[in-house]
């Protein structure tokens, strides 16, 4: 909408340098974040700086082919708007709110500015509630918060998108509210596959997807997160519904901001990042909040450059999250999927007051066991398992069985692994971990606990395996102290095949 109904504010292009466009306005200078149209609306420019009383500098949100000096530019009179309303459900959009699913233009929608302030502290809810995912290692060791923010940290190819897609699959059916998937700078193939999977699962009626693909200009990728949040805020504040906001990938948001900052001529900060990175990330993350009317629960994939968790992009993101799930390349190479590192991952929910005394005690015991095993690995590598004390050998046996029990076959990877996906309740997950820590499964082969759901499936696995392969499973079924050196290669071989299947 124009600021004055009958007056069209026109300017002309002064210079074009890639995505950066300088425009001159002789009368009314558009404010920051105003949207400008050139070439009959084909080229969209967002104002990011006012150079003097007559010139503004903007970043193009679309490719600038065909833009030339002297071309007329029209001020739309407002900022970038996102569509909100019931009409956007089950649809797929781009950053401008255009439907990209090949269907008719959505009806019954309003338009709202993507630049909105976070909810004030007085409106925020102070209750803490656990958000179950059905994934054992997350529910036991890194519980998520309803209305909180969880990050999946990992380098390339360790399974961030697979884990995020599995969470969507597990939670979207039980989630009463609305789910919004925001793809920032990711592949269009992933969006198409997700759309098809959600349609087949019958959960599309309560889902909205919005994408800024990696082939789009940095300005569009930078704003797509804000557009998704505007949609989420409508369902939370106007319809009082809980919203599950899934973002893949928050690093691409920071990267787009870095490109925009470089194009605008700002001096880069550490490792080439923009000097305003902290402010830009906070402006996005602080809008994700739990209020008195509803909650926005967010799960975000965070690409970690070169697996370096001290990278400024990862370090800044850590500070906004209630749960940090770190994926490990080493565990992925061993075939332990999901490849979550339990010792580096953490959650603010993992306290006795929130998860309960038993859950907290068990989680601490699991971490302690895995940490002891980690310390003993060097000794095992140099001297062998036989040189450890009987007590340490028991710790190693427990830790290895826990590691394998905390793996899980995913619904989203059934076609690659050939294993049927499993959804495990928190009660069954805690029960299984407790029984392993109490040495109930010390005489079972490690492979029996690998890629199962509840712990009782290990007994079924051993029963069905024994008649066929009695000789091969005998040595592993002996007490862990004698059998561990011989047992190690067999799970490793099986594990590697599973890794190959999953990674493909």
Let me know if 186 is a catalytic residue: yes
Distance CA 371, CA 351 (A): 19
CA separation, residue 244 to residues 176, 197, 209, 303, 347 (Å): 10, 17, 12, 20, 18
Active site residue 187: yes
The catalytically annotated residue of 46, 132, 145, 186 is 186
Catalytic residue (choose from 57, 160, 252, 331): 160
Residue 108, pLDDT > 80, answer: yes
In the predicted structure, residue 504 carries a pLDDT above the cut 50:
no
Q: Which residue has the higher pLDDT, 395 or 271?
A: 395
Concatenate the DSSP letters of all residues of 65-94 into one string.
TT--TT-EEEE-SS--EEEESGGGTT-EE-
Q: Are 259 and 218 in contact (CB under 8 A)?
A: yes
Q: Give Dmax over CA atoms of the chain in angstroms.
A: 89
Which residues, including other chains, have CB under 8 Å from residue 7's CB and lie 6 or more apart? none
What is the rounded average pLDDT of the residues 145-155? 92
Q: Is 241 a catalytic residue?
A: no
pTM of the model: 0.86
In contact, 14 and 55? CB cutoff 8 Å: yes
Minimum mean pLDDT range among 212-216, 364-368, 489-493: 489-493
Helix (H) or strand (E) holding 212, with range, is strand 207-212
Catalytic residue among 187, 199, 435, 478: 187
Mean pLDDT over 163-186 rounds to 84
Distances (CA, A) of 367 to 285, 324, 374, 395, 459: 29, 15, 10, 12, 25
344: helix, coil or strand? coil
pLDDT exceeds cutoff 90 at 70: yes
């Amino acid at each position: 909408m124009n600021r004055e109904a009958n007056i069209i504010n026109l300017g002309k292009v002064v210079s074009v340098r890639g995505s950066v466009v300088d425009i001159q306005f002789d009368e009314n200078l558009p404010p920051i974040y105003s949207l400008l149209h050139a070439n009959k609306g084909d080229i969209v420019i967002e104002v990011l700086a006012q150079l003097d009383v007559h010139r503004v500098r903007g970043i193009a949100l679309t490719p600038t082919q065909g833009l030339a000096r002297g071309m007329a530019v029209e001020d739309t009179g407002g900022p970038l708007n996102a569509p909100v309303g019931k009409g956007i459900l089950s649809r797929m959009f781009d950053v401008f709110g255009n439907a990209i699913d090949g269907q008719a233009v959505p009806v019954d929608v309003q338009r709202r500015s993507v630049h909105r302030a976070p909810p004030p502290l007085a409106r925020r809810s102070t209750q803490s509630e656990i958000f179950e995912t059905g994934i054992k290692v997350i529910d036991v060791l890194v519980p998520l918060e309803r209305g909180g923010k969880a990050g999946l940290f990992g380098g390339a190819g360790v399974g961030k998108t697979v884990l995020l897609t599995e969470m969507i699959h597990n939670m979207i059916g039980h989630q009463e509210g609305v789910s919004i998937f925001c793809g920032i700078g990711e592949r269009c193939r992933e969006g198409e596959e997700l759309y098809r999977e959600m349609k087949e699962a019958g959960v599309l009626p309560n889902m909205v997807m919005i994408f800024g693909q990696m082939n789009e200009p940095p300005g569009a990728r930078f704003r797509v997160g804000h557009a998704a949040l505007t949609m989420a805020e409508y369902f939370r504040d106007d319809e009082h519904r809980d919203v599950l906001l899934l973002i893949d990938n928050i690093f691409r948001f920071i990267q787009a901001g870095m490109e925009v900052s470089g194009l605008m001529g700002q001096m880069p900060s550490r490792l080439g990042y923009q000097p305003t990175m902290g402010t830009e990330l906070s402006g996005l993350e602080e809008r994700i909040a739990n209020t008195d009317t509803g909650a926005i629960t967010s799960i975000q994939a965070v690409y970690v450059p070169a697996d370096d968790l001290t990278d400024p992009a990862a370090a800044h993101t850590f500070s906004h999250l209630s749960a940090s799930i770190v994926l490990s390349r080493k565990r992925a190479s061993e075939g332990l999927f999901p490849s979550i590192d339990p010792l580096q991952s953490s959650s603010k929910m993992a306290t006795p007051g929130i998860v309960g005394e038993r859950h907290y005690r068990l989680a601490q015991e699991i971490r302690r066991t895995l940490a002891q095993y980690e310390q003993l690995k060097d000794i095992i590598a140099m001297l062998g398992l036989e040189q450890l004390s009987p007590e340490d050998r028991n710790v190693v046996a427990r830790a290895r069985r826990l590691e394998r029990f905390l793996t899980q076959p995913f619904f989203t990877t059934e076609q690659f692994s050939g294993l049927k996906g499993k959804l495990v309740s928190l009660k069954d997950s805690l029960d299984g971990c407790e029984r392993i820590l109490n040495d109930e499964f010390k005489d079972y082969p490690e492979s029996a606990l690998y890629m199962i759901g509840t712990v009782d499936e290990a007994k079924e696995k051993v029963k069905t395996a024994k008649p066929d392969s009695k000789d091969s499973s005998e040595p592993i079924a002996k007490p862990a102290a004698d059998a561990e050196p011989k047992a190690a290669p067999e799970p490793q071989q099986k594990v590697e095949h599973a890794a190959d299947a999953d990674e493909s």
